[in-house]
Amino acid sequence: MPTNSQLFERAKQVIPGGVNSPVRAFKAVGGEPIFIERAKGAYIFDTAGKRYVDYVLSWGPMILGHADEDVINTVKSRIEDGLSFGAPTQIETELAEKVCEIFPSIDKIRFVSSGTEATMSAIRLARGFTGRDKIVKFEGCYHGHSDSLLIKAGSGALTLGVPSSPGVPACLAAHTITLSYNEPEQVIEAFKAMGDQIAAIIVEPVAGNMNCIPPIPGFLETLRQCCDQHGSLLIFDEVMTGFRLGLTSAQGRFNIRPDITTLGKVIGGGMPVGAFGGRSEVMDSIAPLGPVYQAGTLSGNPVAMAAGLCTLNKLANEPDIYTKLFSQTEKLCKGLQAAADAQGIPMTTNHVGSMWGVFFTEDKHITNFKQVMCGNTERFNQFFHGMLDAGVYLAPACFEAGFMSHAHSDEDIAFTIEAAKQVFSQLK
């Protein structure tokens, strides 16, 4: 059996960097990625057969755990009738009805094949519906790799952004205003200056791409108020938070109704799926009803729709799932915090619903991107590799949130905390 190093070298010959998504390459933490052979429940297994307690969970989708029996059986049954048709299917409507039933903010929904496609389409829809070009986003929030969203902040709150990747035209950056997450006064200032030009605000209601950062009280409310006052649309990017903070997701948890919601990850049950939806008035601007064009050859793939519908039905019909998810997440974070404190390691944890994260910093209240960037990256990298060696798989970057699944047992939590104790004792 080839080693991870051999597999990585082979992959690098034919895949840029040896990976199909950059964070998988372990560049942020050093070393080489592990290659996964299979997964079940709370565990993944590499090609050498080593088992890891998994808190990445395919970057969030596996809320029921890997290879959930009901989801797998649903997919097996579905694929016998064909993989894709490029034509309407009943299962698309059934999943759409389920999502609209769950979210009061969504009257109609359009399925796509990824979260990036969902957010890109939501931005286009907002611009087309309002007739405006500018959008507001927040530093540290990631909304996929479409050109309009790969923009970093300028030197001041009202300085227009600049491209954060080669290949993104500067003219697109001129239409993107990048502000600081959890600083509502910046949002108010921006809308006072150019509110009549802003098509939409797009935000992760709980940031999950600068680790796990919940909104401070009043932040999301300010976004809603500014949009209402200036005729702009509020887009909640719930690709990550969708169904992770409860069945009605972040918008239900914080009681804020967005104009457009983007979804992904959990909504596909582990298959590649994205979606964007909102009230009928807005969604009817999408082709073929309206002039805003959006299309996708494999959108609404029946196998993916079936996996997603099975997952959502289980989440909706088994309320104890969320009780356990939230309890286990809190138990893990408390245990990790206690283990760090016992060794005098400066660290704090954040958690919301079934999302969580650790920050190696003296600061005990992490609310923004600037604080995250001041964390001890080297210490996180040591922690990551120590945990990996012990059989615990965390996201290979200090800027990524962790996730809990329904399959994680008390024993898995205890194992993880014990591993952390051993690692922390070596970090002193």
Active site annotation includes 98: no
pLDDT at residue 147 in the model: 67
Q: What is the pTM of this model?
A: 0.95
Cβ(173)–Cβ(151) below 8 Å: yes
Q: Does the annotation count 142 as an active-site position?
A: yes
Asked if pLDDT for residue 157 goes beyond 60, the answer is no
Q: What is the pLDDT of residues 160-198, one digit of tens each?
A: 566 777 887 777 778 899 999 999 999 999 999 999 999
2 by DSSP, 3-state: which?
coil
* pLDDT confidence of residue 162: 66
Q: In CATH, what number does 69-317 get?
A: 3.40.640.10
Spans of all domains in the chain: 4-67+319-427, 69-317
- Written as six digits, the tokens of 33 are 């990625």
Residue 395's nearest CA partner among 357, 344, 424, 362 is 357
In tens, the pLDDT along 113-151 reads: 999 999 999 999 999 999 999 999 999 898 888 767 777
pLDDT of 226 above 90 = yes
| Residue 175 · residue 149 · CB < 8 Å | no
- What pairs with residue 139 in β-bridges? 180
Residues 333-340, mean pLDDT to the nearest whole number: 98
293 a catalytic residue? no
Which string of DSSP letters, residue by residue, matches 161-205? PEESSTTS-HHHHTTEEEEETT-HHHHHHHHHHHGGGEEEEEE-S
Out of 43, 52, 55, 142, which one is annotated catalytic?
Answer: 142
Give the position of tokens 């479409």.
146
Q: Where are the alpha helices (DSSP H) in 17-154?
A: 69-79, 90-102, 115-130
Residues 6+ apart with CB under 8 A from 287: 293, 294, 295
3-state secondary structure at position 371 = helix
Instruction: Give 412's contacts (C-beta < 8 A, 6+ positions apart).
Output: 42, 53
By residue count, the chain amounts to: 428
Q: Which residues pair with 111 in a beta bridge?
A: 275
Q: Is the pLDDT of residue 153 over 80?
A: no
pLDDT given at position 401: 95
- Selected catalytic residue, list 46, 237, 259, 412: 237
Catalytic residue among 181, 265, 322, 412: 265
Q: Under DSSP, is residue 44 helix (H, G, I), strand (E, B) or coil?
A: strand
- CATH superfamily membership of 4-67+319-427: Aspartate Aminotransferase, domain 1 (3.90.1150.10)
Strands 134-139 and 176-180: parallel
For residue 151, CA distances in Å to 48, 178, 322 come to 40, 7, 35
Mean pLDDT of 25-46: 95
Q: State pLDDT tens for residues 339-370.
A: 999 999 999 999 999 999 999 999 999 999 99
